[in-house]
Amino acid sequence: MGFVEGGVTAADGYVAAGCHCGIKNSSDVKDLALVFSERPATVAGVFTRNSMASACVQVSRGVVDKGSARAVIANSGCANTCTGAEGLRNAQEMARVTAEKLDISPEEVVVASTGVIGAQLPIVKVCDGVEKLVSELSRDGGSDAAEGILTTDTRAKEVAVRLDLSSGPVTIGGMAKGAGMIMPNMATMLAFVTTDAAVDKESLQSALRDAVNRSFNRISIDGDTSTNDMVIVLANGDSRDNLTGDDYDAFAAGLAEVCRKLALMIVEDGEGATKFVEIRVTGARDDGDAERVARTIGTSLLFKTALFGEDPNWGRIMMAVGMSGAAAEPDRVAVFIDDLQLVSGGVGTGFSAEDARRLLAKKEISITVDLGLGSSETKFWTTDLSYDYVKINAEYHT
């Protein structure tokens, strides 16, 4: 496996474009993106579990259920959520117009939206933008598409890998957006992945679900799960036999790596974040307990504010372990910042507060919690919670 340039258009048979269509006020900011597979593609996806799901989620679930897609049309600046029957019609119109311009079926078009909840989508502007995007589709358009889906993100998020399989080379590329309203729950933001591998629907869905569970479902910025979250993968390698055996396993590993890289980029770009934090839980009784502890620590507001203040208050970590619901015995727990041990047997080690603060002053921090009960472990990625996060979200709508 090796990393390559190109993002969502790195794989063979994909073109993309991004443009400003008028949803956002600034004319130099892109707010619409299109990714198109030049040949039929298998599609898989995971979606938000938020019961207030956006109209785009409702439409795109139907596309994924059918198992094939050719295009993804995505807008930023308007979530098209809680917009009633009109919002659903607008999402369907996005798919219809995109399909018409590409000469495909509306049932082959995944629709995605992100932005402010409650506003109706300016569908006329979107449809005019679709026509412009179709005329600009190219293999070099991946970065423009990645810009077209951003909201409070400070930078585009793209990655691609190439695999040398026994059946031939395979490329997997992707783009994502997300900086706030990030919390693990099946999918956590928008992410679109493309590959020129040939994978059947069931295998592709299985590989994606596993990849998401080990990446996007292991991150949190603020503990909020968006109404619009989705992760979509297109596989257009219809000229080859479906991957099986070792080749499929290698593909699944490549897909997981693409998802992991995109997920980490989201955490690194968290709204107002000053710290990127990896939480490693070891010694858990089982995988479920490891995840519960890591997730509880990573979403604790008290823990996250201590990170921002560079305060080595390990009591907040112990508190989170205890409220996680996982099996834990205080006299077995150990806690580390990088290699500095703060807790042994459930009590403080008498560590140097100065050393701890020096480690917490870094941009990237590793926290390890050893429960001492078993052999299961996991990783989770999070941020601190800063003044700027509050400011960004206090003024988000206005």
- Tokens 């993804």 appear where? 72
Q: Nearest 5°: CA angle at 375, between 371 and 380?
A: 65
Measured in whole angstroms, the distance separating CA 70 from the mean position of its chain's CA atoms is 21
Q: What count of Cα atoms within 13 Å lies in the side-chain half-sphere of residue 359?
A: 17
| Secondary structure class of 209 (helix, strand, coil) | helix
Read off the tokens for 87.
Answer: 């919002």
Residues 6+ apart with CB under 8 A from 199: 42, 207, 235, 237, 242, 243, 248, 251
Rounded Cα gap, residues 54 and 106, in angstroms = 18
Is 188 among the residues known to form the active site? yes
Rounded Cα gap, residues 32 and 128, in angstroms = 11
Read off the tokens for 391.
Answer: 């400011």
Catalytic one of 42, 188, 299, 382: 188
**What's the sign of the alpha-carbon dihedral 299, 305, 307, 311?**
negative
E-assigned strand segments in 249-345: 276-284, 334-337, 340-344
Q: How many residues does the chain have?
A: 398
Residues paired with 194 in a beta bridge: 173, 234
Distances (CA, A) of 38 to 5, 132, 233, 262, 293: 20, 18, 15, 24, 44
Measured in whole angstroms, the distance separating CA 230 from the mean position of its chain's CA atoms is 8
- Tokens 């490693």 appear where? 280
Report the candidate in 139, 348, 383 with the shortest Cα–Cα distance to residue 271.
383
Q: Are 302 and 226 a contacting pair, CB within 8 Å?
A: no
Rounded Cα gap, residues 303 and 385, in angstroms = 9
**What's the sign of the alpha-carbon dihedral 54, 56, 58, 60?**
negative
What are the catalytic residues? 188
